[in-house]
Amino acid sequence: MRTRGTCPGCGQDRALPGRHPADGSAICTTCAGFSQTFDCSRCGFEGKLLGGRLCERCTLTDRLTALLDDGTGRVRPALTPLFNLLVAMDEPRSGLAWLAMRRNHPGNASQMLRRLGIGQVPLTHDAFHELKAWRAAAHLEELLMASGVLPAVDKYICSFQRWLPGHLACIADPEHLKTIKLFATLPRV
């Protein structure tokens, strides 16, 4: 559905896929005489429909429910705040695109969410600092902080803590390493 707004024919806020025969203005399905509707089969929202005649938000809800399932058929309870945050996003299309991004690459968002759901990734900042797809891990860590699942920490501190172990491993001189560790090591969060 490209257009949504107040239909000039009936005055309702609706999807406007039709065209008025007289002036070509966008009108709703009822005023255009369409026999097909664009209502979600679950929630009734009128708009773009995906598989199963579900709207983007219901589709996102289903995908997140499956990914965050703890093995009981329900979202892992500790991840409910993250689930609620993602389902309530303004543009569910963006959430669906994020889940589909880099689908065949290890460490993509869907794989990380699945691993969180079944408890393979502990809900700690340290666990996220060790994940290899660091950009995706950092984004998910920020979402977990925004939803209150993880305690809020400055994202630059998180980035530093992710970067520091690799940098320390490259220092050959033991005295330099000792000095840098003395000043660079931060308390773990």
Mean pLDDT across the chain:
84
For the segment 40-86, what is each residue's pLDDT rounded down to a tens digit? Answer: 777 877 777 787 788 888 999 999 999 999 999 999 999 999 999 99
55 class by beta-carbon count within 10 Å (0-12 exposed, 13-18 middle, 19+ buried) = buried
Question: Six-digit token pair at 169?
Answer: 């491993």
SS3 111: helix
Residue with tokens 């097909």: 36
| Nearest CA-CA partner of 80 in 61, 94, 98 | 61
| Nearest CA-CA partner of 45 in 13, 18, 90 | 13
For the segment 1-24, what is each residue's pLDDT rounded down to a tens digit? Answer: 457 788 888 888 887 777 777 888
Within 10 angstroms of residue 82's Cβ, the number of other Cβ atoms is 25
Pair 158, 129: CB distance under 8 Å: yes
For the segment 54-65, what is each residue's pLDDT rounded down to a tens digit? Answer: 888 899 999 999
Pair 33, 19: CB distance under 8 Å: no
Pair 180, 168: CB distance under 8 Å: yes
- Give pLDDT, residue 2: 55
What is the rounded distance in angstroms from the CA atom of residue 48 to the CA atom of residue 55?
A: 6
For the segment 91-122, what is each residue's pLDDT rounded down to a tens digit? Answer: 999 999 999 887 777 678 999 999 999 999 99
Question: Six-digit token pair at 102?
Answer: 């880099």
Question: Six-digit token pair at 129?
Answer: 């600092």
| Nearest CA-CA partner of 96 in 64, 127, 124 | 64
